[in-house]
Amino acid sequence: MKFRKVEGGVTAAKGFWAAATASGIKKQAEKDLALIYSQVPAAAAGMFTQNRFQAAPVTISRKHLADGRAQAIIVNSGNANACTGEQGLKDAQKMTELTGKLLGLLPHDVLVASTGVIGQFLPMTKLERGIRAIVGQLKADGGPLAAEAILTTDLVSKITAYALEIGGQTVTVGGIAKGSGMIHPNMATMLAFITTDCAITPSLLQKALQYTVDRSYNLITVDGDTSTNDSVMVLANGMAGNPIIEEENEDYHRFLMLLQRVNSELAQKIVRDGEGATKFIEVTVKNAATELDAKKLARGILTSNLVKTAFFGEDANWGRIVAAMGQTEVELYPERVDIYLGNLPVMQAGQGLDFAEEEAKEILKQKDIRIIIDLHMGNAKVTAWGTDLSYEYVKINASYRS
């Protein structure tokens, strides 16, 4: 497929505008409020945190997505509006009501998301003032500004967009994301907002989103923690003019691959910006009995603190990889397993090899490190991404609220 990289993030697709402003939630007048708007009604889908403590905006957005339609997303950073009871729900609902009123939409056509410190009430006077201001700032090239406004401990914005011909028309999918810490499979303290001008039914949009989330955001980890606010939302307004996708035909699969491209890139950008991270670690488990087994093993390796600290110390201690695999619930044959650090074999048929430590050290000095596990059991293959664990991670999270 001939994917074409384009600029603009959530405003790359036809008919989408975005804006950002500083409402006063964050210190030092940082942007902390983002708005994404489709000029026409759109099909909508979402996936949310599996953490049992779910923030108020997650509850409200789930309700608003019940009809598979939405036209705007309002997002604040600096305050999670989580564990805030009935007041938090009222505040999240108020955000959608005010945004909708100013845009001429019904409240249930507006989705809402928040990220930041848990357990604090939103400063609604500041937020309402910010919402009134941001509606007037919507513009067709506002995607990069919106990407800035949703950040918390992130060091860089996460933004991407690609185009592909579908049904004889150019279809674009663009997205922005935030996330740096509390990152773990089943999503994390992350938000991602995707827009597309593809014409597709809400049910197939939801199906495509779930498929791609399972193969992107659910295959990343930084520190093994999930959050109360994790959300991925997508709006599809149909303005590309392609024949509406109503069944799982060739057009659907082309759209699926386009959406996968965007979500995979955003997911990897989150890992690369992991709190305190010095290494980007890619784990491929191949020739597994099932895809689920491969996922569990990759996650087990990437979430092991002993594995992560070994990579931070640039120590080729492959025994920690073996130990992490062995403590998962996956059934495997240890005597068949091969392990590679980059292209360097360190274990074959379940036994350690006499490899050059100097060569291993050179591999581990790199920012990007690849681990390959061959189980010799089947045909399933999964690639997942994670980070090392550094002193800086502890410093960042020891003083998150200060």
Residue 159 CA to residue 137 CA, distance in Å, equals 20
Cβ–Cβ < 8 Å for 198, 160: no
Is the pLDDT at 323 greater than 50, yes or no?
A: yes
Question: Sign of the C-alpha dihedral, residues 129, 56, 386, 254?
Answer: negative
Question: By mean pLDDT, which of 106-110, 181-185, 357-361 is the weakest?
Answer: 181-185
Q: Are the C-beta atoms of residues 158 and 265 closer than 8 Å to each other?
A: no
**397 has a pLDDT exceeding 80:** no
The per-residue pLDDT for 228 is: 78
The answer to whether residue 186 scores a pLDDT higher than 80 is: no
CATH 3.60.70.12 segments of the chain: 4-272
Q: pTM (2 decimals)?
A: 0.87
Q: What is residue 280's predicted lDDT score, i.e. its pLDDT?
A: 93
Which pLDDT score, from 0 to 100, does residue 227 have? Answer: 65
> What pLDDT, on the 0 to 100 scale, is given for residue 187?
44
pLDDT at 354: 94
* Crossing angle for the helix pair 319-326 and 305-312, to the nearest 10 degrees: 160
**String of DSSP letters for 104-117:** T--GGGEEEEEEEE
Instruction: Please list the residue range(s) of the chain that carry CATH number 3.10.20.340.
Output: 280-398
Helix (H, G, I), strand (E, B) or coil at 375: coil
Say whether 138 sits in a helix, a strand or coil. Answer: coil
Element (H, E) at 222: none
SS3 content of the chain, % helix, strand, coil (to 5): 35, 30, 35
pLDDT for residue 194: 98
Least confident range from 272-276, 312-316, 374-378: namely 272-276
The predicted structure's pLDDT at residue 400: 55
CATH 3.10.20.340 correct for 280-398: yes
User: From CA 400, how far away is CA 402, in angstroms rounded?
Assistant: 6
Per annotation, catalytic residue among 153, 172, 189, 303? 189
Please give the angle made by the CA atoms of 132, 135 and 137, to the nearest 5 degrees: 115
Q: Which CATH superfamily is domain 4-272 in?
A: L-amino peptidase D-ALA esterase/amidase (3.60.70.12)
For residue 274, pLDDT beyond 80: no
Query: Which neighbouring-strand residues pair with 48?
Result: 231
Please compute the mean of the pLDDT values over residues 268-272 and round it to a whole number. Answer: 89
Q: Is 50 exceeded by the pLDDT of residue 185? A: no
Residue 47 near residue 169 (C-beta atoms within 8 A): no
* Active-site residue, 212 included: no
SS3 at position 299: helix
CA–CA dist 158, 147 (Å, integer): 7
Structure confidence at residue 179 (pLDDT): 82
Full DSSP string of 326-358: HTSS----GGG-EEEETTEEEEETTEE----HH
Give 14's contacts (C-beta < 8 A, 6+ positions apart): 172, 197, 237, 239, 240
Who has greater pLDDT, 238 or 391? 238
Across the range 208-212, mean pLDDT stands at 96
pLDDT above 60 for 28: yes
User: How far is the CA of 378 from the CAs of 40, 210, 351, in angstroms?
Assistant: 47, 25, 20
DSSP 3-state of 36: strand
Cβ–Cβ under 8 Å, residues 195 and 16: yes
Spatial separation of the C-alpha atoms in residues 128 and 35, rounded to whole Å: 13
The whole-number average pLDDT for the span 80-98 is 97
Averaged pLDDT for residues 372-398: 89
Instruction: Say yes or no to pLDDT of 115 above 80.
Output: yes
Please count the other Cβ atoms lying within 10 Å of the Cβ belonging to residue 155. 11
Average per-residue pLDDT in the chain? Answer: 92
The model's pLDDT over 133-179, given as tens digits with 9 standing for 90+, comes to: 999 999 999 999 999 999 987 888 999 999 999 999 999 999 999 98
